[in-house]
Structure 1
Amino acid sequence: MKIENNRAPKWQASARVKFGTRFAASLAALLAFSTVLAAGARAPAPNPLQGDGRVSAFYSWDDEIPVHPGELLRSERLPSTLGLANAGQQLRLLYSSTDGVDGKTPIAVSGALFLPKGQPPQGGWPIVAWGHGTFGMADICAPSWFGRSYRDVRYLNAWLQQGFAVVATDYQGLGTPGPNPQLNNRSNSYTMLDSVRAVLHSVPGLSNQVVLVGQSQGGSAVFAAAGYASTYAPELDIRGTVATGVIYNAPKQTLATLAPFKTAYQRDPNRIDSTLAYQFYSVLSAQQIDPELKASDILTDSALPILEQSRISCLASLEDDAALAGLTTANTVKPGANARLQAWWDAYLKFPTLKIKSPVFIGIGADDGLAPLELSLAKDACAAGTTVEAHLYAGREHNGTVNTSLEDSIPFVRKVLAGQPVTPVCSPVEQDPRL
């Protein structure tokens, strides 16, 4: 393990011994695995059109990337300004993973690790593997470099306070060179599962009791990761999944039966809408799998300059730009253009399965535009055989559901860690979180 700074964590020496022992014990499995993957790879050359650059040298791995995913390449202390108040130790990480787009090429991925204060319990701290929501596609948008929203700071501090270590991937291509495939569930799943592998291999005081926790893009990623885990990372003990604001690409037959979305937040095609920022990221992501896709076929001439901003801007800044430019759905997206994105949507957002071995918590805001799809996911996953505990929160939209759900998700996680049964709730009744 290579430490970039001069002050290595106290566990550095023991981590080397521990990792070396495990490496020797699993050598045969590693050799078998390496015959499936490419025999090592180098990080791609930085591409400014994909938002590469403007981060420190820590994020660029110049040596050959190990073919075995989940190896910690190096770590350094995370600046306190980017940290969490309830963390006793916090590190920036670089580790090996697998390109989730082609499914085979070794890649380097960045992230962060937060350990609770105090001494770990017997057996080690259980792990929350965190999947963040959409934050941008440029390297500088990696949360381990840019920092986190106050919403997420509050949320992750709560898990630390409950005695969970938090490992937080930046996802493929954020921070590190190469394109960020944004909503590619396989990519986000692989990087999340490999972040857990990396810290379990190298950091003492952790327990192989893992809970996958995510919001929005991360909510979709953790549901997918729970499905991929049995084949991609079967050694991980995934006890449960907590997902809020899940993006679900429902089957067409399900979409045809969805009830109209009812909310106090009305969707007006002529209203200035800062959330159109997501549309620009979607176009850039779709072009990664279809280079022939022209942005001008999707976006109007008045919107195209903001697309160029999306290559370098993180979400909050891009939302401001969209609002200041007076963008509305009507003057941004060409009629019928979203159909051109369907192939990308279908390829990237698919789940490997709806039948998850461990219980799944789904938190839904009744005023979230994704609520009908999230409710459908709860029903569809239940029908597939997954134990789902779903909650529907009155008056909460996409972002407001995250911290509100802690009142229910923490007890859920305590149950799954203790091996206690979870009562399925497939069609939740709307509940007022203020009561």
Structure 2
Amino acid sequence: MKKALLCCFAIILAMWVAVSPAIALSPDKPGLLPTFYDVPDDLVPGEPGSIIKLESVDAPENARAWRVVYRSQKASGDPVAVSGLIIAPKSPSLGSKLPVVSWAHGTVGGARYCAPSNVPNPVTDFVGYPSFNSTVPNDYGIPGLSTFIKAKYVVVASDYQGLGAGEKHEYAVGLSQARNALDIVKAAQTVTPAGKKVALLGWSQGGLAAVTAGENASYAPDLDIVGIAALAPANPASFVIPEIAGQSTGGPRIGRLILLNTAYTWAYPDLHLSDVFTETGMEAAKAAARQCIQQLSVTGDTAEAQNDKPDMTKPADPSVLFKPTNANLHAWVAKFAENAIGRHLFQSPVLVMQGTADDIIPAASTDLYVKDACKFRAPIRYIKYKAKNHRTLLPAAEDDFTTWIAKRFDNIAAPSNCPDGEIQ
């Protein structure tokens, strides 16, 4: 009887595999990435923001949504296919041009299947990982989505180049992600009543993307960037300041370091894996293209177990992965400086939000950005949230950033409190 049941189960499973749309999978990531995200090389060149692929996805009752692959550019100017989400409210006023919120997500990893749009029911308010509400081992969803849809905004969310579509995600290369976050607005204009008014909302890695987009608004001259709302934005200028970088101890720290160093070698030919990684670290760097951030961090934390007699009673030793000195340090510092935020002229008002207890993006890193950016005298409002960490910042700040964005769309003058900000 047991054999018969197992036989029947095997037949049913085989039938499900044969008919399930999820089994139309990319050959390089079997079981993890649908072929929707695959784009032939000859289809990649084209006008930034033009659509390559589009498919409907489930959305809240008062909205419509699509998963999209569109054309964009890397920081280098090379064309690239990028995936993401486009969400529009139902029944907009006839002939209306709706404001657009472009959400820029935080760190999810370097593998293509880590894309936030590549989850069941991706069109939702933010669901973090780890969380009792999460169904996948990564963050997905959009903070404030319900509020934005109720306000009749179009919402877009880029996965960024190399996550979903494309290869070799240029993690923390701000201009790459900034261009991706702007070009998806252009894509939305072809399928929704999206207008030219745009607010960018970003968190962590996405905060870097959002701020960089505001500092490089000339890339998309047809868009009116009315404001940038940045939650704990990553600031590469702080990566080389030991007293700030040393405060970044929380979350999947080892995974972030592996991904950051690997991704910069993908983006910049003059940087090399051998500059920073040991032989074991080189294997971890390979994993950066195959794993999402939580798994990559566990991989890094347990790297010492590859030794013949590892001492598993001790914390992970970074020296297993990283060399004590970098013979090419000047080139690396130059690239981090190139991606620093707050050092470029910009016009759009900025809302900066930072938790005082953040041990992933330290408050000192964001202080540095605000201090630099305030020198350009554009309106900057800086809010520090007492005792909030990298993740509790999002719900704590939601009323503030949704209200601030609404006022920018209503053409209300933005407040400024440079450089010290306020504590809530």
**TM-score, length of structure 2 as denominator length:** 0.76
Question: 1:36 corresponds to which residue?
Answer: none
Q: Secondary structure at the match of 1:150?
A: coil
Aligned residue identity for 1:354: H
- Label 1:223 to 1:290 Cα distance change in 2 as closer, same or farther (>3 A): closer
Contact 2:173 2:264 in 1 (8 A): no
Q: Give the alignment partner of residue 55 of structure 2, picking from 76, 96, 107.
A: 76
Question: 1:274 corresponds to which residue?
Answer: 252
| Residue 286 of structure 2 is aligned to residue 311 of structure 1 | no
Q: Secondary structure at the match of 1:280?
A: helix
Q: CA deviation at 1:351?
A: 4.6
In 2: Cα distance, 1:249 partner to 1:160 partner: 33
Q: Give the alignment partner of residue 150 of structure 1, picking from 120, 127, 139.
A: 127
Q: How does 1:281-320 map to 2 (within 5 A)?
A: 281-289=259-267, 295=273, 297-301=275-279, 303-320=281-298
Which consecutive unaligned segments of at least 5 residues does structure 2 have?
A: 1-25, 129-139, 304-314
Q: Secondary structure at the match of 1:225?
A: helix
Q: Secondary structure at the match of 2:117?
A: helix
In 2: Cα distance, 1:368 partner to 1:323 partner: 21
Contact 1:47 1:177 in 2 (8 A): no
| Residue 222 of structure 2 is aligned to residue 243 of structure 1 | no
Q: How does 1:164-243 map to 2 (within 5 A)?
A: 164-200=153-189, 202-229=190-217, 231-243=218-230
Q: CA deviation at 1:186?
A: 1.5
Q: Secondary structure at the match of 2:290?
A: coil
Q: Secondary structure at the match of 1:405?
A: helix
Identity %: 25
- Label 1:99 to 1:331 Cα distance change in 2 as closer, same or farther (>3 A): closer
Question: 1:22 corresponds to which residue?
Answer: none
In 1: Cα distance, 2:31 partner to 2:179 partner: 23
Contact 1:115 1:166 in 2 (8 A): yes
In 2: Cα distance, 1:328 partner to 1:207 partner: 51
In 1: Cα distance, 2:221 partner to 2:156 partner: 18
Q: Secondary structure at the match of 2:384?
A: strand
Which consecutive unaligned segments of at least 5 residues does structure 1 have?
A: 1-45
- Label 1:94 to 1:163 Cα distance change in 2 as closer, same or farther (>3 A): same
Q: CA deviation at 1:279?
A: 1.0
Q: Give the alignment partner of residue 99 of structure 2, picking from 116, 119, 126.
A: 126
Q: CA deviation at 1:167?
A: 0.6
Q: Secondary structure at the match of 1:143?
A: coil
Contact 2:202 2:208 in 1 (8 A): yes
Q: Give the alignment partner of residue 346 of structure 1, picking from 321, 337, 340.
A: 337
In 2: Cα distance, 1:155 partner to 1:338 partner: 42
In 2: Cα distance, 1:216 partner to 1:330 partner: 26
Contact 1:53 1:140 in 2 (8 A): no
Aligned residue identity for 2:162: G
Contact 1:211 1:238 in 2 (8 A): yes
Q: CA deviation at 1:239?
A: 0.8
Question: 1:95 corresponds to which residue?
Answer: 70
Q: CA deviation at 1:121?
A: 7.8
Aligned residue identity for 1:361: L
- Label 1:422 to 1:333 Cα distance change in 2 as closer, same or farther (>3 A): same
Q: Secondary structure at the match of 1:250?
A: helix
Contact 2:355 2:389 in 1 (8 A): yes
Aligned residue identity for 1:218: G
Aligned residue identity for 2:333: Q
In 2: Cα distance, 1:261 partner to 1:251 partner: 6
Contact 2:88 2:192 in 1 (8 A): no
Question: How many residues are aligned here?
Answer: 367
Point out the more displaced range, 321-330 or 175-184.
321-330
Question: 1:377 corresponds to which residue?
Answer: 369
Q: CA deviation at 1:389?
A: 0.7
Contact 2:341 2:369 in 1 (8 A): no
Deviation per CA, 1:122-142: give whole Å up to 9, x if none.
724321111111211111111
User: What RMSD over aligned residues (CA atoms) do the two structures have, in Å?
Assistant: 3.4
Q: Secondary structure at the match of 2:296?
A: helix
Runs (4 or more) in structure 1 with deviation over 6 Å come to 265-268
- Label 1:375 to 1:308 Cα distance change in 2 as closer, same or farther (>3 A): same
Q: CA deviation at 1:210?
A: 0.8
Q: Give the alignment partner of residue 356 of structure 1, picking from 333, 346, 353.
A: 346
Q: Secondary structure at the match of 1:414?
A: helix
Q: CA deviation at 1:85?
A: 4.2
| Residue 316 of structure 2 is aligned to residue 327 of structure 1 | yes
Q: Secondary structure at the match of 2:143?
A: helix
- Label 1:232 to 1:216 Cα distance change in 2 as closer, same or farther (>3 A): same
Aligned residue identity for 1:127: V
Q: Secondary structure at the match of 1:153?
A: coil
Question: 2:356 corresponds to which residue?
Answer: 366
- Label 1:169 to 1:274 Cα distance change in 2 as closer, same or farther (>3 A): closer
Aligned residue identity for 1:285: A
- Label 1:267 to 1:292 Cα distance change in 2 as closer, same or farther (>3 A): closer
Deviation per CA, 1:210-268: give whole Å up to 9, x if none.
10111111101111111212x2111101111101111123389x969xxx669xx9777
Deviation per CA, 1:57-111: give whole Å up to 9, x if none.
3223334445321112221012x4xxx647621111111222322x2x3322211
Aligned residue identity for 1:180: H
Q: Secondary structure at the match of 1:195?
A: helix
Aligned residue identity for 1:378: V
Question: 1:426 corresponds to which residue?
Answer: 418
Q: Secondary structure at the match of 2:277?
A: coil
Aligned residue identity for 1:360: V
Question: 1:40 corresponds to which residue?
Answer: none
